A and B are shown apart, each in its own frame.
Chain A
Amino acid sequence: MIIDHPLLGPRDAQEFVILGDASLIDRPDWQAEDAAQQFHDYQHLRDNPAGEHRELWFHEQGDRSWLVVTRSTLTHEVLKVELARDVAIARGRNR
């Protein structure tokens, strides 16, 4: 597989380590009333789609960027690659 790194261009996926579903960015609020349930769901439950999947890849043998890769789990086609930091900020995690 090839991942088109937003900063570095196309790279062999072998340079990366994959973590899994990009929903892992959405870490719950530790002070929420149902924090235990929210953290359980966050950590353990997955949509696991047969189709478009947003997922986290780490460029371990490269620039150490975490990326959010949108990829089809049916065809492996890569549809979009973003810096995970940008995604996290867009989701308000810098506040």
Chain B
Amino acid sequence: MSGPYRIDGGAIDRGRSLAFRFDGRSMTGHPGDTLASALLANGVRLVGRSFKYHRPRGVFSAGSEEPSALVELRNGAHREPNTRATVAELFDGLEAFGQNYRGSLRHDLLAVNDLLAPFLSAGFYYKTFMWPKSFWERVYEPAIRASAGLGRLSGEADPDSYDKGFLHCDLLIVGAGPAGLAAALAAGRSGARVILADEDFVMGGRLNAETHEVNGRSGTDWAAKAVRELASMDRVRLLLRTTVVGAWDHGVYSALERRTDHLAASNGKPRQILWRIYSKRAILAAGATERPIAFGGNDRPGVMLAGAVRAYANRFAVGAGRRVGLFTNNDDGWRTAADLTARGIEVAAVIDVRDRRPLADVPGARILMGGRVTATWGRRGLKGVELASGERIALDCLAVSGGWNPNVHLTCHHGGRPLWRPEITAFVPGGGLPEGMTVAGAANGTFTTAAALAGGHRAAAAVLDGLGVSVAAGEAPGASDEAAGVSAFWHVRESRGRAWLDLQNDVTVKDVVQAHREGFRSVEHLKRYTTLGMATDQGKTANVGALAIMAEQTGRTIAETGTTVFRPPYTPVPIAAFAGRSRGREFRPTRLTPSHDWAAGQGAVFIEAGMWLRAQWFPRPGETHWRQSVDREVLQTRGSVGICDVTTLGKIDIQGRDAAEFLNKVYANGFAKLAVGKVRYGLMLREDGIAYDDGTTARLGDHHFVMTTTTANAVLVFRNMEFARQCLWPGLDVHLISATEQWAQFAVAGPNSRSLLRKIVDPEHDISNEAFPFMACGEIGVCGGTPGRLFRISFSGELAYEIAVPARYGESLMAALMAAGEEFDAFAYGTEALGVMRVEKGHAAGPELIGQTTARMLGMQRTVSKKKDCIGNILSERPEMNREDGLELMGFRPIDRSQELSAGAHFLAPGAEATMENDEGWLTSVAWSPELGHAIGLGFIRNGHARVGETVRAWDGVRGRDVPVEIVSAHFLDPDGERLRG
């Protein structure tokens, strides 16, 4: 026998023993145990400490509603704080620890808080800790933070993996208790596609915890048989250990399946799977949760929910105590007395608040009708209770039942509000249910087994009917109706000492009364002021009692008082489960250019750009600093020839009779008259007139253009162009396709670029300066007939080309270019060298096109045509975008040429104070120009063109720099463009 409190029967596997440790103590349990049942079987009552007063806490429930028995489960990086012992399946080698204490669980130093409780009542912290002012962050808050919280994170990366899955079904059934099983049988037998999910590790719900009979056999057996039948159906999927946590729009549900939490190790398998379930209909059969009654000292370990005490006895074969009392306001509670007695556990007293005839005879028990428990004693566990009559009864467990709350949570995820039904003293689903959802069984306020079975069956039949599936379900399973009378009774007024509502957050009846006294009377104020229901259990057992007490205070009804809002998830879900596999390297897709492997082989350093990895520079042997590599790449290119993979630029293929007209509308500058075989620079505005992208577009034929966009905006530009095509000018004959990934493209730049390309481009294509001048383009053959495209465009300012081939030839072309370039000492260059050369040429790029830039700021106001209808030109004329003293893109160089520049510095006049009023602009991009031999920069400055030659300061206060710079033209090199035309 595993533990002194183990009794006969139950659904545990006594044939096997599982060793486990709690807080250092070794014990054993059995398969079928939860950590809570195994602890109870071993007589462990003190499991944790409460949030505020650090009061002893023990097992309170037998399910996911548990507010008290929270533990840190597992060790090291696998540590899982705040784990409910009541749902943690026992496995061999399990290790768990109590939490929220300082010192030891038994001797928690912070239990001193309990002595100070009179001064720590609701909202006390809003009224103090204000003096002296500086003490909040330094003294008070750290102390509060350290004593609050609950369990500890490990501080290490979560070592497990998580997965996501997608499922489709006709009918999702949430909960496999009597209603859910009856519904699943009816739907499954009719051939519908059914998913049945239950959070427990055995299906059957309360049937496993009770002694009800269904169809003439024990509820547990009937459930097991039903599950076997369902498992044999092809179109039924059973999801065990799976909690449906949220109802989203249009029949989408998310469900968390715990795959390896019941095992000692996940062994490389996903620990949990987050299912996204697309359902046509859903039946919520999530059952109900018992609630307690508040009375003095009702928080001691040993005070438990009556239904839980029953579950431990019937299912887990554990006596929650040896001398048990019952305190109830309803008939159901009496089942606990009956079941315990039947299993040989002494029931010392049955205390029913109702002044009526006893429901049954309980052998050996004092029956106290109209009784009230007013106080308890026992320091770390219950030793006895005191009644209003003054009578004291020694007990080690008090089973309490204050009635049942239907689990309406999912019905409220779309803003629905539950409805109060006084005759069953419970909130039931109101209106506003998620589309396609119906509710059955106890979740609908139908508390008896027979009614739950019938309700589930009926709900399934109705759903099938709605889906047009013919029902072949037969009759609902039968059971007898048990007594379910209940009276509204929330707390014992005569209580001595504090009466707890929220066991975890230490909210007592007095706190609710005080909240009312101070004016926090709406349920939301009550919750927020007292922290009621904000703990890990979200008040599943506490809230209704508390708002009933608030209703008493205000004189309103419970219906008028209402509830707070139920929000997902139904039970807490690890962050890692929502993230699934998207972490680390898999956080986002990685896009690789055709020459990636080649570049990696060259030792390139890569940088992220629009999900792509681009070569940033290519270090050569002996180069110890990136600047050495970049300077060399720049000089190499400007001196001979360099090659850069520019595949990442967005490419959009544009075809149709109206392609030119279409381009004329999406570009700010004119495109209608672009000749075939020519390329033009294009500036794109948003409709609000801001310049957001630029690039070149080549006209390959009368009705065929190829556009390039920046890497960063490729997706956005394509989206906007499709918008223009489909929504704004649907009459134009034009079609678009994104060809970014279809074409590999390389820039070949430098005075020897033509010579190099002559060796690559098939000889029938004349690429001489005369035949193929600057801004020419054409379709060509490469390396003996491979189709390609050649564009004579230049970002570097050198004689340069971009050559494109279908992506699958990209790597070969790179190799071919390098081989052909050997005689010219050709090198690959990366984005850094590209960046240096474009700064030298004064081309705007990402740091300048930040979505706040007007054409005027770029000096391109004349580029924006006023003579045509194009996106953005009207709103670009608004006055504040055209101020005379507006920002203008200029070049900057340090007065002292040996000084470095830093992008992000702001411009201030010499001697001006560093204030916002004196701010004249900022430095956007900087580079060290190897050709000029000093730092250069681009930046926006007020009225820049009129101020060439003026000295201002590049003030970089955050980095402690302040560099005098001269305003110059942004074109540092070859301002007349002789090189690129050469």
Which residues in A have some Cβ–Cβ distance to B below 8 Å?
1-2, 17, 19, 24-25, 27, 30-31, 35-36, 39-40, 42-43, 56, 58, 60, 64-66, 75-78, 83-85, 87-89, 93-95
Out of A40, A93, A95, name the residue touching B728 (CB < 8 Å).
A93
Does B278 contact A2, Cβ atoms closer than 8 Å? yes
CB-contact partner of B722 in A24, A43, A66, A83, under 8 A: A66
Task: Decide if B361 is an interface residue (CB 8 Å cutoff).
Answer: no
A40 contact from B249, B414, B875, Cβ within 8 A: B875
A17: nearest residue on chain B (CB-CB)? Answer: B719
Question: Quick check: is B565 within 8 A (CB to CB) of the other chain?
Answer: no
**A residues less than 8 Å from B731 (CB atoms):** 89, 93-95
* A65 interface neighbour in B278, B688, B715, B726, Cβ under 8 Å: B726
Task: State whether A19 touches B723 (Cβ < 8 A).
Answer: yes
Contact A43 B729 (CB under 8 A): no
Q: Which residues of B lie under 8 Å from residue A95 when comparing CB positions?
A: 731
Q: Are B728 and A88 in contact (CB under 8 A)?
A: yes
Partner of A66, one of B251, B727, B729, B875: B727
Report yes or no: B874 in contact with A36, Cβ–Cβ below 8 A: yes
Which partner residue on chain B sits nearest A76 by CB separation? Answer: B249
What residues on A are CB-neighbors of B278 within 8 Å? 2
Q: A19-B723, A93-B728, A93-B729 are in contact. Are A77 and B875 (CB under 8 A)?
A: no
Contacts of B875 in A (CB 8 A): 36, 39-40, 43
Flag if B726 contacts A84 (CB, 8 Å): yes
Does the CB pair B688–A43 fall under 8 Å? Answer: yes
Q: Using a Cβ–Cβ cut-off of 8 Å, how many residues does chain B contribute to the interface with A?
A: 26
What are the residues of chain A within 8 A of B250 when measuring CB–CB? 1-2, 76, 78
* Interface 1/0 per residue, B460-487 and A, CB below 8 Å: 0000000000000000000000000000
Q: Which of the residues A24, A35, A77 comes within 8 Å of B874, measured between beta carbons? A: A35
Q: Residues of B contacting A19 with CB < 8 Å?
A: 723
B-chain residues with CB within 8 Å of residue A42 when the two chains form the complex? 687
**How distant is the Cα of A66 from the Cα of B730 in the complex, in angstroms?**
11
A-facing residues in B669-719 (Cβ within 8 Å):
687-688, 715, 719
Can you give 17 A-B contacts (C-beta < 8 A)?
A1-B250, A2-B249, A36-B875, A42-B687, A43-B688, A60-B719, A66-B723, A66-B727, A76-B249, A84-B727, A85-B727, A85-B730, A88-B726, A88-B727, A88-B728, A93-B727, A93-B730
Asked if A27 and B873 make an inter-chain contact with CB atoms under 8 angstroms apart, the answer reads: no
Residue B435 at the A interface, CB < 8 A?
A: yes
Q: CB-defined interface of B194-233 with A at 8 Å, one 1/0 digit per residue?
A: 0000000000000000000000000000000000000000
**Once the chains bind, are B728 and A27 in contact (CB under 8 Å)?**
yes
A2-B251, A40-B875, A77-B435 known; A94 and B730 CB under 8 Å? yes
Residue from the set A64, A83, A89 with the largest chain B CB neighbour count within 10 Å: A64
Q: Tell me whether A89 and B877 are in contact (CB under 8 A).
A: no
Q: Are B251 and A25 in contact (CB under 8 A)?
A: no
B869 at the interface (CB under 8 A from A): yes
B620 on the interface (CB 8 Å rule)? no
* List of 5 A-B pairs having minimum Cβ-Cβ separation, nearest first: A94-B731, A2-B250, A85-B726, A30-B869, A1-B249
Q: How far is the CA of A39 from the CA of B872 in the complex (A)?
A: 9
> Is B252's beta carbon under 8 Å from chain A?
yes
Nearest residue (CB) in A for B719 is A58
Minimal beta-carbon separation of B9 from chain A (angstroms) = 48
Give complex CA distance A31, B874 in Å: 9
Most buried by A among B715, B722, B726, B731: B726
Chain A residues, Cβ within 8 Å of B719: 17, 58, 60
Alpha-carbon distance A30/B687, docked complex (angstroms):
12
Interface members, chain B 840-876 (any A CB < 8 Å):
869, 873-875
Q: Quick check: is B493 within 8 A (CB to CB) of the other chain?
A: no
Contact pick for B723, options A2, A35, A58, A75, CB 8 Å: A58
B252, B731, B874: residue with the most chain A Cβ atoms closer than 10 Å: B874
Q: Does B878 contact A (CB under 8 A)?
A: yes
* Contact A66 B726, beta carbon cutoff 8 Å: yes
B279 to chain A, nearest CB (A): 11
Q: Which residues of B contact A25 (CB under 8 A)?
A: 727-728
B800 nearest CB across to chain A (Å): 33
Minimum Cβ distance to chain B for residue A35 (Å): 5
Rounded to whole angstroms, the CA-CA distance of A76 and B414 in the bound complex is 10
Contact residues in A for B715 (Cβ distance below 8 Å): 60
A residues within 8 A CB of B869? 30-31
B727 partner residues in chain A, CB cutoff 8 A: 24-25, 56, 66, 84-85, 87-88, 93
Q: Which residues of B contact A66 (CB under 8 A)?
A: 722-723, 726-727
Bound CA–CA A24/B727 (angstroms): 8
Among A36, A43, A94, residue most surrounded by chain B Cβ atoms (within 10 Å): A43
Interface string of B718-755 (1 = CB under 8 A from A): 01001100111111000000000000000000000000
A89 contacts B688, C-beta separation under 8 Å:
no
Quote the shortest CB–CB distance from A12 to chain B (angstroms).
Answer: 8
The CA-CA distance from A95 to B435 in the complex, in Å, is 41
Closest to A87 in B: B727
B435: A residues at CB distance < 8 A = 77
Kindly provide the distance from the CB of B716 to the nearest chain A CB, expressed in whole angstroms: 10
The distance from the CB of A52 to the nearest CB of chain B, in whole angstroms, is: 16
Bound-state CA distance A71–B877 (Å) is 35
Chain A residues in 8 Å Cβ range of B248 = 1
Are A30 and B729 closer than 8 Å at their CB atoms? Answer: no
B275 to chain A, nearest CB (A): 14
**Minimal beta-carbon separation of A25 from chain B (angstroms):** 5
Chain B residues with CB under 8 A of A75: 414
Inter-chain contacts of B414 with A (CB < 8 A) = 75
- Please measure, in the bound complex, the distance between the C-alpha atom of A43 and the C-alpha atom of B715, giving whole angstroms: 21
List, in ascending order, chain A residues with CB within 8 A of B874's CB: 30, 35-36, 39
Residues of A within 8 A of B730 (CB): 85, 88-89, 93-94
Cα distance A84–B264 in the bound complex, in angstroms: 55
B residues in contact with A58, CB < 8 Å: 719, 722-723
Residues of A within 8 A of B687 (CB): 27, 39, 42-43
A39–B870 CA distance with the chains assembled, in angstroms: 12
Q: Residue of A at shortest CB range from B248? A: A1
Report chain A residues within 8 Å CB of B251.
Answer: 2
Residue of A nearest to B729 (CB): A93
Contact with A along B165-190 (1 / 0, CB 8 A): 00000000000000000000000000
Chain B residues within an 8 Å CB radius of A84: 726-727
Least distance between B907 CB and chain A CB atoms (Å): 31
Q: Which residues of B contact A93 (CB under 8 A)?
A: 727-731
A60–B726 Cα distance when bound, in Å, is 14
Given A30-B869, A89-B731: A36 and B877 within 8 A (CB)? yes
Nearest A-chain residue to B435, judged by Cβ? A77
Interfacial chain B residues near A1, Cβ < 8 Å = 248-250, 252
Cα A65 to Cα B725 with chains together (Å): 10
Counting chain B CB atoms within 10 Å of each CB, which of A17, A36, A88 scores highest?
A: A88
A30: nearest residue on chain B (CB-CB)? Answer: B869
Known: A2-B252, A66-B722, A89-B731. 14 other contacts (CB 8 A): A2-B249, A2-B251, A30-B873, A31-B869, A35-B874, A43-B875, A58-B719, A64-B722, A76-B249, A87-B727, A89-B730, A93-B729, A94-B731, A95-B731
CB distance from B652 to the nearest CB of A (A): 12
User: Chain B contacts of A30 at CB under 8 A?
Assistant: 869, 873-874
Contacts of A94 in B (CB 8 A): 729-731
Residues of A within 8 A of B729 (CB): 93-94
Roughly how many angstroms separate A10 CA and B728 CA in the complex, as a whole number?
A: 26
Q: Which residues of B contact A64 (CB under 8 A)?
A: 722
User: From A71, which residue of chain B is reached at the shortest CB distance?
Assistant: B249
Which residues of chain B come closer than 8 Å to A60, judged between CB atoms? 715, 719
Contact A36 B728 (CB under 8 A): no
Interface string of B125-163 (1 = CB under 8 A from A): 000000000000000000000000000000000000000
Residues of A within 8 A of B249 (CB): 1-2, 76
A77 to B719 Cα, complex, angstroms = 26
> Nearest chain B CB to A26's CB is how many angstroms away?
10
Closest Cβ–Cβ distance, residue A14 to chain B (whole Å):
10
Tell me the minimal C-beta distance from A81 to chain B in angstroms. 12
